[in-house]
Structure 1
Amino acid sequence: MKNKYFKEDLRMAFEEIKAGLEKYHAEVEAKLVKNPERANLVPNRLYTPVDLGENFDYMTKLGFPGEYPYTRGVQPTMYRGRFWTMRMYAGFSTAEESNKRYRYLLANGGSGLSCAFDLPTQIGYDSTDPMAEGEVGKVGVAIDSLADMEILFDQISLDKVSTSMTINAPASVLLAMYIAVAEKQGVSADKLRGTIQNDILKEYAARGTYIFPPKPSMRLITNIFEYCSKNVPLWNTISISGYHIREAGSTASQEIAFTIADGIAYVEAAIKAGLDVDAFAGRLSFFWNAHNNVLEEVAKFRASRRVWAKVMKERFGAKKPKSMMLRVHTQTAGSMLTAQQPNNNIVRVALQTAAAVMGGTQSLHTNSKDEALALPTTESVTIALRTQQIVAYESGLADTVDPLGGSYYVEALTDKIEAEAWEYIKKIDEIGGAPEAIAKGYIQKEIQDSAYKWQMEIEKGDRIIVGVNKFTQEEEAPKNLLRVDGSVGKLQAEKIAALKARRDNAAVEAALKALEAGCADENVNLMPLILDAVRAYATEGEICGVMRKVFGEYQPHTTL
């Protein structure tokens, strides 16, 4: 009976709010003749309980932190016990130079590493390959063999640090190198913590550092799932990445929808390969962009956890709570940094950091102010790290769990983004899943359309970018930017020549032949064979060359 009266009181309260809202809007509209509102704002000028609906169910939509559907966070106390991992993305030039930057970041309060590899490394070429000319060490560190990886992590204890590696097509090779370095340090693989990005579907859709066609690429991914579930149990075997989808121009809803659709494809592939969903799903992680609209980003994080939890529970029948948790690494939005007035980027990154923290990220990289111009200097990367530390220790945003939970606007926006994401996922299901939607160009077209709309808004002045299309000023050319010396390619070539002169080339040849035979047999897990080749000091180019020979290379095509 008490519940009956409570519902009646609630209904009456809603009617009272609705009546008051109508009066409020009528009075405001009368004043807009003299004081019009800005254009292109969110639909409602004011959010109230009416926007959540009379049937809003707290336990179904929100629940509690650390409990299904994880809207309010994947840990019960979130940052009250331990802050997110402050994982600064770094890597440039040679392994020696990047090692210095890593040790500097760790000494200054960084709590995890995030490795940026140069373009040749990302697409499986040695620094001596003609395809690598002019690109060695430019956008990340050049890693050609285990010898480079040993230098990269020199004086860094791999049992005491968590390492993320932004590597996709050759993720199996770089992970094998990491495991081999740990072995040389006396650290067993079951002690290693970290993440490989290993997300090939978004490469086909939005980024472009692919090597092999989809089928063998998916095989390599599921091989890693299986190998790590048995041998490297603390490792996150994939970081299903929405970051690059957002950087390519998607909306917030598209970012989580297309990324979760990719996640569905990976889970389906692993189950098809014979893996039990609860044996690997707890080591899947995600990678979100922290964009400029703070409240929209908070809602995006919250909606994404709810969508993934439902997917894993209802579609795949996952039983373990960890299998349903969307754990996420975040990077602030590189595409939102401007070459004009680069100091403004410090403010942008601070706001994006606040969004990621209020959204409940598990780890975070903050971009540096000069990244629209060059690789970050030591000074600018220190400011980026200090931004995280100020938010953690001074802002109060980390003192309570899900601080914006219950905001009428944030809850309504969370529901809106979730609903839009489900519509996209439904459409992708109808097409035949993410791989088929990518093959047909659907996902690419949606991203391109959103990117075009955004750019047109900027060019028309409907969207203001401070320092770019409003509040501009004459500026001097930037000074003291970090430039990678062109001699890095020569240095790497000398290293490779010396390596090949001292290694056991017969052992390398035998390991590569075994890998080639394994590639030809779909029932073979390739990780142990790749690890054997790495231990013998085969180069990345040699290993990927064998796989190219058997698997072929992906040739993009779309039917837009």
Structure 2
Amino acid sequence: MGEYKDKEQSENEYWSLKENEKSWQENKYQKTAERFGLRKDVFSSDTEFKIKPLYTPLDSQNINYKKKLSFPGEFPFTRGVYPTMYRSRLWTMRQYSGYGTARETNNRFKYLLKQGQSGLSVAFDLPTQIGYDSDHQLAEGEVGKVGVAIDSVEDMKILFDDIPLAEVSTSMTINAPAAVVLAMYIVAAEEKGIAPEQLSGTIQNDILKEYVARGTYIYPPEPSLRLITDIFDYCSQKMPGFNTISISGYHIREAGSTAVQELAFTLADALTYVEAALKIGLDIDDFAPRLSFFFAAQMNLMEETAKFRAARRLWAEIMEEKFGAEKKKSKLLRFHTQTAGTALTASQPLNNIIRVTIQAMAAVFGGTQSLHTNSYDEALSLPSEEAVEIALRTQQIIAEESGIADVIDPLGGSYYLEELTDTFVEKSRKYLNKIDQLGGMIEAIKTGYIQREIQESAYQKQKEIDQKKKVVVGVNRYQTENHNSGIELHQLNPDLETDQIADLKKIKNSRDQKKLQKALKAVKSTAKTNENLMPAIIQAVRARATLGEINDQLREVFGEYQNRNI
């Protein structure tokens, strides 16, 4: 593109174009708009600025190609993190899955791999997410409902039974008890003869967004950060192919944030994790290459594409300018995308197939490294096999038939897209500066600033839907009767909780109690020091300590967080 004034046209041509645009605006656009009207009085967007009716080279006149865009695989990576992108290798196709028992989820994993899925993604049930065993009184009625129940390493071994862990990349959406779940994954692989350095995948391990968007936290922020940096340290030495964190904007967006807030708050979380790691003496270029991100893909195709491009540029600039990262890999923002759960509708659920397709295209246009496409029936139940297959086929059709993957950053150079990308960078920097003024992300969370910003955005969006200013097809316009007829929903095993608790009881009764108590005591004593907790947790897992038992030791030392901004 170059600098418009200096390289593309002479100054006379620039002013001529400016006059032509003004004349078109006044004599063509405005007069036609007055005659036929416009669909909206003001065309606005999630980036909170007015959308012009037309974008021209005048909107891109100050773009310095080398500084702001450059080439794929070159700083600031706006156009992609790798030189060949999808021309060499398609994104990893992950279908987030988990329900009931480990055996049921294992069967679903095998089905998906047979259908062409290239990576696994594990959803855990609510008790597992907050560090309780299935037999805990607070787990009653929740076991295996929104994900798979994992109580011990035995469950983890069943979850990945007959799956080649050295060959398949695994993503695990777990946060507060991430260290324990990762330890179970390590031991499960170890007992299959697979060493930690052979494992690849991602552990979400992002606690800060839990305080503002999801609520599955256990410990206060400070000890939670300690657990995260312990994972950074351990994996940098033992698991070089494993992503130690997936810093998640997805849940922030699902809670109601705007696209700009999603980007800014996610990067603010990431900066907090980087600073915490540096504080304990880790070198930026030792751990930064294994940081990864997780974003939502919502309905506005162009905005979402711009958001992903802006994220890469911002992160590269921050890592170089603020932290002095030298390795190229330390500056790469690699990310997973999931299509938007909140965009799915229970009415006319087959419409969700189209919604998911648009969102998935935005992720691919934006250069995602892996992608989950939601199933059309998820607003009604856990996904059926048919719905999951259609969701996976959506990715495969985009990859193999659409032509989108043939060209790197195919929308790059669009006057509108480049203006949007710059807007995301500018508005996100304003949020980052505001958070910095408040004392950082943890202070911004403790004072409720982040929560209030998200809540206000969610309120405004819902108000627009209720007032029909924002159309949701099949919900507030184009409604029909009998919109769910003929759809077969997935049914959970009604005995799954009883079965899971029975299996857990067998494990607890078969353990070497002396070895178990020694391992649990070591977890508690290590938590009182500054030593890395991962070796002690791994040893406890080997002794068949359960998720709840290990987290109980940590609760006694760290305490539990009480969110006073709910």
Task: Letter of the 2:466 partner, please give it.
Answer: E
Query: Residue in 2 aligned with 1:366?
Result: 373
- Deviation, 1:480, is 2.0
Q: Is the 8 A contact 1:239 1:287 kept in 2?
A: yes
* Cα shift readout 1:217-252 (whole Å, capped 9, x = no counterpart): 000000000000000111100000000000011111
- Deviation, 1:485, is 2.7
Give 3-state SS (helix, strand or coil) of 2:363's partner: helix
Query: Residue in 1 aligned with 2:310?
Result: 303
Give 3-state SS (helix, strand or coil) of 1:531's partner: helix
Query: Residue in 2 aligned with 1:234?
Result: 241
Query: Residue in 1 aligned with 2:48?
Result: none
CA distance in 2, matches of 1:10, 1:313: 35
Query: Residue in 1 aligned with 2:38?
Result: 37
Task: Letter of the 2:20 partner, please give it.
Answer: G
Query: Residue in 2 aligned with 1:52?
Result: 60
Query: Residue in 2 aligned with 1:467?
Result: 474
Query: Residue in 2 aligned with 1:437?
Result: 444
- Deviation, 1:413, is 0.4
The alignment status of 1:88 with 2:88, answered yes or no, reads no
Aligned CA distance change for structure 1 residues 480 and 221 (closer, same or farther; 3 Å): same
Task: Letter of the 1:543 partner, please give it.
Answer: I
* Cα shift readout 1:264-301 (whole Å, capped 9, x = no counterpart): 00000000011000000000000000100000000000
Task: Letter of the 1:529 partner, please give it.
Answer: A
* Cα shift readout 1:525-549 (whole Å, capped 9, x = no counterpart): 0000000001111000000111111
- Report the more deviating stretch, 259-268 or 486-495: 486-495
Match of 1:169 among 173, 176, 191: 176
- Deviation, 1:15, is 1.1
Query: Residue in 1 aligned with 2:47?
Result: none
Task: Letter of the 1:422 partner, please give it.
Answer: R
The alignment status of 1:11 with 2:41, answered yes or no, reads no
- Deviation, 1:108, is 0.9
Q: Is the 8 A contact 2:127 2:133 kept in 1?
A: yes
Q: Is the 8 A contact 2:199 2:241 kept in 1?
A: yes
The alignment status of 1:331 with 2:332, answered yes or no, reads no
* Cα shift readout 1:142-181 (whole Å, capped 9, x = no counterpart): 0000000000000001001000000000000110011111
- Deviation, 1:33, is 1.9
Query: Residue in 2 aligned with 1:132?
Result: 139
The alignment status of 1:497 with 2:498, answered yes or no, reads no
Q: Is the 8 A contact 2:360 2:373 kept in 1?
A: yes
Query: Residue in 1 aligned with 2:515?
Result: 507
Query: Residue in 2 aligned with 1:270?
Result: 277
The alignment status of 1:487 with 2:486, answered yes or no, reads no
Give 3-state SS (helix, strand or coil) of 1:86's partner: strand
Match of 2:382 among 375, 387, 392: 375
- Deviation, 1:93, is 0.3
* Cα shift readout 1:354-411 (whole Å, capped 9, x = no counterpart): 0000000000000000001110000000000000000000000000100000000000
CA distance in 2, matches of 1:10, 1:173: 63
* Cα shift readout 1:278-336 (whole Å, capped 9, x = no counterpart): 00000000000010000000000000000101110000000001100000000000000
CA distance in 1, matches of 2:296, 2:57: 29
- Deviation, 1:477, is 4.8
- Deviation, 1:12, is 2.5
Query: Residue in 2 aligned with 1:258?
Result: 265
CA distance in 1, matches of 2:313, 2:101: 42
CA distance in 2, matches of 1:340, 1:12: 56
The alignment status of 1:245 with 2:288, answered yes or no, reads no
- Deviation, 1:475, is 1.4
TM-score (norm 1): 0.98
CA distance in 2, matches of 1:246, 1:38: 27
What root-mean-square deviation, in Å, do the aligned CA atoms of Structure 1 and Structure 2 show?
Answer: 1.3
Q: Is the 8 A contact 2:348 2:483 kept in 1?
A: no
Q: Is the 8 A contact 1:134 1:486 kept in 2?
A: no
Q: Is the 8 A contact 1:312 1:324 kept in 2?
A: yes
- Deviation, 1:487, is 1.7
- Deviation, 1:8, is 9.1
Give 3-state SS (helix, strand or coil) of 1:544's partner: helix
- Deviation, 1:30, is 1.5
- Report the more deviating stretch, 479-488 or 44-53: 479-488
CA distance in 1, matches of 2:143, 2:5: 71
- Deviation, 1:506, is 1.3
- Deviation, 1:7, is 5.1
The alignment status of 1:529 with 2:536, answered yes or no, reads yes
Aligned CA distance change for structure 1 residues 158 and 5 (closer, same or farther; 3 Å): closer
Query: Residue in 1 aligned with 2:231?
Result: 224
CA distance in 2, matches of 1:263, 1:194: 19
Task: Letter of the 1:38 partner, please give it.
Answer: R
TM-score (norm 2): 0.96
Match of 1:394 among 401, 412, 416: 401
CA distance in 2, matches of 1:294, 1:494: 48
Q: Is the 8 A contact 2:4 2:57 kept in 1?
A: no
Task: Letter of the 1:433 partner, please give it.
Answer: G
CA distance in 2, matches of 1:56, 1:492: 59
* Cα shift readout 1:63-100 (whole Å, capped 9, x = no counterpart): 00011100000010100011000011001000000000
The alignment status of 1:415 with 2:417, answered yes or no, reads no
Unpaired stretches in structure 1, ≥5 consecutive residues: none
Match of 1:284 among 286, 291, 314: 291
What is the number of equivalent residue pairs in this alignment?
555
- Report the more deviating stretch, 360-369 or 471-480: 471-480
- Deviation, 1:476, is 5.3
Q: Is the 8 A contact 1:118 1:137 kept in 2?
A: yes
Aligned CA distance change for structure 1 residues 465 and 527 (closer, same or farther; 3 Å): same
- Deviation, 1:4, is 13
The alignment status of 1:23 with 2:31, answered yes or no, reads no
Aligned CA distance change for structure 1 residues 19 and 163 (closer, same or farther; 3 Å): same
Query: Residue in 2 aligned with 1:344?
Result: 351
Q: Is the 8 A contact 1:251 1:450 kept in 2?
A: yes
- Report the more deviating stretch, 279-288 or 29-38: 29-38
Match of 1:157 among 148, 158, 164: 164
Task: Letter of the 2:38 partner, please give it.
Answer: E
Task: Letter of the 1:500 partner, please give it.
Answer: K
CA distance in 2, matches of 1:388, 1:167: 25
Give 3-state SS (helix, strand or coil) of 2:54's partner: coil
Task: Letter of the 2:320 partner, please give it.
Answer: K
Give 3-state SS (helix, strand or coil) of 2:170's partner: strand
Identity of aligned residues (%): 57
Match of 2:201 among 194, 197, 203: 194
CA distance in 2, matches of 1:124, 1:483: 26
* Cα shift readout 1:430-460 (whole Å, capped 9, x = no counterpart): 0011111111111111111111111011111
Query: Residue in 2 aligned with 1:516?
Result: 524
CA distance in 2, matches of 1:408, 1:86: 31
Structural mapping, 1:315-326, within 5 Å: 315-326=322-333
- Deviation, 1:115, is 0.1
CA distance in 1, matches of 2:495, 2:15: 73
Give 3-state SS (helix, strand or coil) of 2:506's partner: helix
The alignment status of 1:450 with 2:452, answered yes or no, reads no
- Deviation, 1:504, is 1.1
- Report the more deviating stretch, 6-15 or 353-362: 6-15
- Deviation, 1:11, is 2.5
Task: Letter of the 1:423 partner, please give it.
Answer: K
- Report the more deviating stretch, 42-51 or 65-74: 42-51
Task: Letter of the 1:104 partner, please give it.
Answer: Y
Unpaired stretches in structure 2, ≥5 consecutive residues: 45-50
- Report the more deviating stretch, 499-508 or 158-167: 499-508
